[in-house]
């Protein structure tokens, strides 16, 4: 049986009814990895043996009649910037090529003992990028067309789910890194409210923006994963002390009377007309399903990208100072300590990471702090106020996730600005700290298009309900990537 094609919630029912074993499911996914990984390259590290051990333990529990958690025994992929105790966590950087964390990220603790992890998924180095081309190891390929990128930075996590190399995955999103690859790979990606999910054990890129979230094949699975990972954590001082709802209760096929705002500034110049058409059709469909649409204006949207590319690199330059060849990670010997720092960091960081460290260091330096960093923080407040104002009138906002579909590998790798522009629709959401989901809503030339639904702070439930209603009235979640010539 092709269990690798199933959704997590379907497999959970089959497991509970003893119609399939966790070992059978895990073997199906491992066989799929063996068949397609050579073309997709979603993983940095594969952990098939440990996965099978876990699957056996879950089967033993089921045999004994013990309760199992919704994701128990169902193979997932974890972005390789999330720490799993005893498993290599590289952040796709040569500087951490052999780093084995001695502890689990809180999300791994919360997922629990019965979680079957088949591998650590590829990303842009330290999550800086939008295509996985910045990975220090290899580029991941989009299962819908192997000559295109899967998006990024969580490109491995999205491609694994789309290719059947994992049933669900975790990604991280600082400026779009869950939602944009989900859109490019035709799957669902949810960035929770900043503080909803603990960042403890997520290797920091830009700490005031980073959030971990699910990448799945449908909205129900996103709710499943959220139920497992959300919640306050005393180990993350930015995590929010709020009750965590049962997200599966939000899976209601009804948006009658829901107020949806369409921010006009998100239909940017240079947007692919096919993408725009598909987004507009999806909005019409939401109206037909009972939603009320209003156009809203979010006037500071056009400044969000520039503010992000000062704030994120500023935080990154500080966060990445710890990779100095001393406590852990790669070291190149030098004549003295400064020489050692220089050689280590010059050799082991990739071009994009260096670019961001330089940008960030410059923006934070004493002569430029006020002109750049502080100014960017003020813009961030204005962007947040755009959201506050919009949410006085509407329940959710609907926009494209990205202005185009997946581009060809190599197309933008020498043009950082063109790459950064892919994030225009996702970045403001991180600056404001609100939740956003991307769901498949159409195709252009055979490549998936993503619809973004943005919610009020801590209101993941309403975006899940909107997404679920849209999904249940379409069949995008039933399609499977053809995987090119494989």
Cα(136)–Cα(404) distance, integer angstroms:
25
Q: Which helix (H) or strand (E) holds 83?
A: none
Instruction: Tell how strand 117-121 and strand 188-191 pair up.
Output: unpaired
Q: Which helix (H) or strand (E) holds 76?
A: strand 76-79
* Cβ–Cβ < 8 Å for 399, 151: no
Query: Which of 7, 41, 54, 79 does the annotation list as catalytic?
Result: 79
Stretch that binds ligand GLN, among 99-107, 127-135, 401-409, 474-482 (CB under 6 A): 127-135
- Is-catalytic flag, 153? yes
**Exposed, middle or buried, 343 (CB in 10 Å: 0-12/13-18/19+)?**
middle
* Cβ–Cβ < 8 Å for 43, 119: yes
Rule CB under 6 A: say whether 177 interacts with ligand GLN. Answer: yes
Stretch that binds ligand GLN, among 88-96, 141-149, 169-177, 228-236 (CB under 6 A): 169-177
Instruction: Tell me: cis bond preceding 120? Omega within 30 of 0 counts.
Output: no
Question: Which residue sits closest to ligand GLN, CB atoms considered?
Answer: 177
Nearest in space to 69 (alpha carbons), one of 240, 248, 272: 248
Binding mask 5-44 for ligand GLN (x = CB under 6 A): ----------------------------------------
What does the longest C-alpha to C-alpha distance in the chain come to? 70
Rule CB under 6 A: say whether 174 interacts with ligand GLN. Answer: yes
* Cβ–Cβ < 8 Å for 143, 122: no
* Cβ–Cβ < 8 Å for 85, 91: no
Query: Which of 21, 131, 177, 317 does the annotation list as catalytic?
Result: 177
User: What is the torsional sign of CA 306, 309, 312, 318?
Assistant: negative
Binding mask 187-206 for ligand GLN (x = CB under 6 A): ------------------x-
Q: Which of 26, 104, 153, 211 binds ligand GLN (CB under 6 A)?
A: 153
131 backbone dihedrals φ, ψ, rounded to 5°: -150, -5
What's the min distance (Å) between Cβ of 130 and ligand GLN? 4
- Is-catalytic flag, 278? no
Rule CB under 6 A: say whether 176 interacts with ligand GLN. Answer: yes
Rule CB under 6 A: say whether 128 interacts with ligand GLN. Answer: yes
Rule CB under 6 A: say whether 312 interacts with ligand GLN. Answer: yes
Query: Which of 28, 93, 153, 438 does the annotation list as catalytic?
Result: 153
Rule CB under 6 A: say whether 132 interacts with ligand GLN. Answer: no
Q: Which of 130, 261, 435, 450 binds ligand GLN (CB under 6 A)?
A: 130
* Cβ–Cβ < 8 Å for 36, 164: yes
Stretch that binds ligand GLN, among 113-121, 167-175, 255-263, 374-382 (CB under 6 A): 167-175
What residues make contact with ligand GLN under the rule CB under 6 A? 127-130, 153, 173-177, 205, 312, 423
Q: Which residues belong to the active site?
A: 79, 153, 177
């Amino acid at each position: 049986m092709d269990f690798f094609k199933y959704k997590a919630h379907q497999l959970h029912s089959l497991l509970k009814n003893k119609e399939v074993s966790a070992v059978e499911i895990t073997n199906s996914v491992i066989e799929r990895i063996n068949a397609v990984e050579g073309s997709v390259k979603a993983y940095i590290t594969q952990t098939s043996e440990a996965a099978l051990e876990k699957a056996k333990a879950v089967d033993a529990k089921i045999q004994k009649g013990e309760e199992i958690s919704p994701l128990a025994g169902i193979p997932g992929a974890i972005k390789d910037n999330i720490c799993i105790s005893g498993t290599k966590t590289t952040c796709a950087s040569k500087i951490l090529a052999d780093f084995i964390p001695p502890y689990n990220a809180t999300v791994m603790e919360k997922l629990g003992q019965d979680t079957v992890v088949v591998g650590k998924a590829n990303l842009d180095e330290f999550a800086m990028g939008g295509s996985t081309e910045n990975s220090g190891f290899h580029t991941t390929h989009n299962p819908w067309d192997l000559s295109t990128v899967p998006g990024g930075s969580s490109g491995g996590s999205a491609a694994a789910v789309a290719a059947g190399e994992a049933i669900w995955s975790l990604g991280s999103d600082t400026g779009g890194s869950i939602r944009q690859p989900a859109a490019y790979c035709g799957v669902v990606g949810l960035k929770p409210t900043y503080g909803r999910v603990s960042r403890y054990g997520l290797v920091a890129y830009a700490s005031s923006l980073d959030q971990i979230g699910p990448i799945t094949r449908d909205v129900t699975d996103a709710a499943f994963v959220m139920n497992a990972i959300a919640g306050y954590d005393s180990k993350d001082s930015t995590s929010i002390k709020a009750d965590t709802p049962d997200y599966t209760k939000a899976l209601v096929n009804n948006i009658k009377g829901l107020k949806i705002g369409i921010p006009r500034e998100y239909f940017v110049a240079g947007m692919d007309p096919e993408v725009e058409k598909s987004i507009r059709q999806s909005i019409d469909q939401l109206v037909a399903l009972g939603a009320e649409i209003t156009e809203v204006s979010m006037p500071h949207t056009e400044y969000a990208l520039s503010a992000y590319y000062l704030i994120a690199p500023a935080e990154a330059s500080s966060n990445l100072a710890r990779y100095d060849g001393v406590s852990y990670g790669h070291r190149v010997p030098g004549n003295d300590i400064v020489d050692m720092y220089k050689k280590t960091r010059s050799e082991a960081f990739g071009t994009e990471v260096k670019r961001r460290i330089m940008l960030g260091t410059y923006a934070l330096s004493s002569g430029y702090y006020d002109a750049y960093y502080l100014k960017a923080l003020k813009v961030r407040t204005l962007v947040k106020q755009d959201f506050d104002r919009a949410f006085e009138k509407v329940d959710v906002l609907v926009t494209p996730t990205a202005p185009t579909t997946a581009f060809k590998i190599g197309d933008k790798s020498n043009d950082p600005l063109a790459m950064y522009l892919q994030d225009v629709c996702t970045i403001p959401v991180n600056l404001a700290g609100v939740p956003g989901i991307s769901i498949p809503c159409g195709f252009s030339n055979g490549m998936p298009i993503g619809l973004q639904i943005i919610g009020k702070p801590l209101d993941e439930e309403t975006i899940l309900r909107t997404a679920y209603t849209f999904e249940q009235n379409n069949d995008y979640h039933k399609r499977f990537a053809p995987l090119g010539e494989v």
